[in-house]
Amino acid sequence: MGRCEAVLLDIDGVLTVDWKPIPGAVAALRELRADGVPYVLLTNTTSRTRRSIAETLAEAGFPVGVESVLTAPAATAERLSGLRCLLLNSGDIREDLAGLELVDDPDDAEVVLIGGAGPEFGYRALDRAFAALQGGARLVAMHRNAYWRTGEGLRLDSGAFVAGLEHAAGVRAEVLGKPAEAFFAAALAHLGVAAAEAVMVGDDIESDVLAAQRHGITGVLVRTGKAASGAPRQGNGEPDHVLDSVAYLPELLLRLRPA
């Protein structure tokens, strides 16, 4: 575990649930800003654009601008620029996918691109994705989260569908959001710090916390969102730190930051 010069934070389940602030989250980020601790929001959210996310958080009182938000769709657009992609995603994120050629015909697809799950993930759509994979398209997932927490409880996410397509087509998905090393590296570069100088705060023990720790970043699990009481525990390993919520993050950082 290293010292703390900067902070990476997940959004859903850490700062908000159903885009409503978790108690103490706004105050915690404001305290980080006042103390001069740089931070970036590193999210697998695929239902909204970076601009929409930043505006929604700012309206809720978080000191956040679009430059503070790094998303899996934006990382995907940079990685797959110029390729023909068959997109399966819940939510309109085309603004953040500039540079990709989105196609409808499985025969035209070089990539089957999976985002976040929702009503769009019906049999017809999944079968079209399967047809494209049979035709030689790559399978790329913006993330493979198994579920996320809403105000009504846990909801199934696209990780289950990615696993199903992998099994059916005999392929392995490339993941571009968390827990991919490149996504964490982009966040560190954005902040201008080394892995040993950063802390990652998340509610997903595997994709957020243990993944960050494997890349040399100090991991902090918050017991909200996916990690709230009663949620299934996933991940083989232990977080460096555990907090009841992000509200207690400033106190932890005081202990981790260099004098």
Q: Give CATH for domain 78-175.
A: 3.40.50.1000
Q: What's the CA gap between 72 and 96, in Å, rounded?
A: 9
pTM, whole model, 2 decimals?
Answer: 0.86
Mean of per-residue pLDDT scores for the chain:
93
The predicted model gives 163-168 an average pLDDT of 98
At 153 the pLDDT is 87
At 85 the pLDDT is 98
Assess whether the region 6-44+178-256 and the region 78-175 belong to the same CATH fold.
yes
Which tens digit of pLDDT belongs to each residue from 81-103? 999 999 999 999 999 999 999 99
Q: What's the CA gap between 104 and 111, in Å, rounded?
A: 12
**Residues 6+ positions from 31 with CB-CB distance below 8 Å:** 250
At 259 the pLDDT is 59
Residue 245: strand, helix, or coil: coil
Q: Inform me whether the pLDDT recorded for 3 exceeds 70.
A: no
The two three-digit tokens of residue 130, written as one number: 């399967």
Percent of the chain with pLDDT over 70: 95
Residue found under tokens 């430059």: 67
At 233 the pLDDT is 56
- Asked whether the beta carbons of 89 and 72 are under 8 A apart, the reply is no
CA distances from 66 to 7, 50, 58, 116, 198 (A): 16, 6, 10, 21, 21
Residue 36: strand, helix, or coil: coil
Q: How many CB atoms lie within 10 A of CB 158?
A: 26
Q: Inform me whether the pLDDT recorded for 231 exceeds 60.
A: no
The two three-digit tokens of residue 182, written as one number: 């490149």
Residue 50: strand, helix, or coil: helix
**Residues 6+ positions from 227 with CB-CB distance below 8 Å:** 13, 203, 204, 205, 221, 233
For the chain, the structural domain boundaries read 6-44+178-256, 78-175
The predicted model gives 105-132 an average pLDDT of 97
> Strands 101-102 and 111-114, how do they pair?
unpaired
Which tens digit of pLDDT belongs to each residue from 178-199? 999 999 999 999 999 999 999 9
At 256 the pLDDT is 86
Which tens digit of pLDDT belongs to each residue from 12-44? 999 999 999 999 999 999 999 999 999 999 999
Instruction: Encode burial over 75-103: b for 16+ CB neighbours within 10 A, e otherwise.
Output: bbbebbeebbbbbbbbbebeebbeebeeb
CATH of 6-44+178-256 given 1.10.600.10, 3.40.50.1000, 3.30.379.10, 3.40.50.10860:
3.40.50.1000
Which tens digit of pLDDT belongs to each residue from 135-165? 999 999 999 999 888 888 889 999 999 999 9
Q: Inform me whether the pLDDT recorded for 1 exceeds 60.
A: no
At 152 the pLDDT is 84
At 229 the pLDDT is 62
At 228 the pLDDT is 81
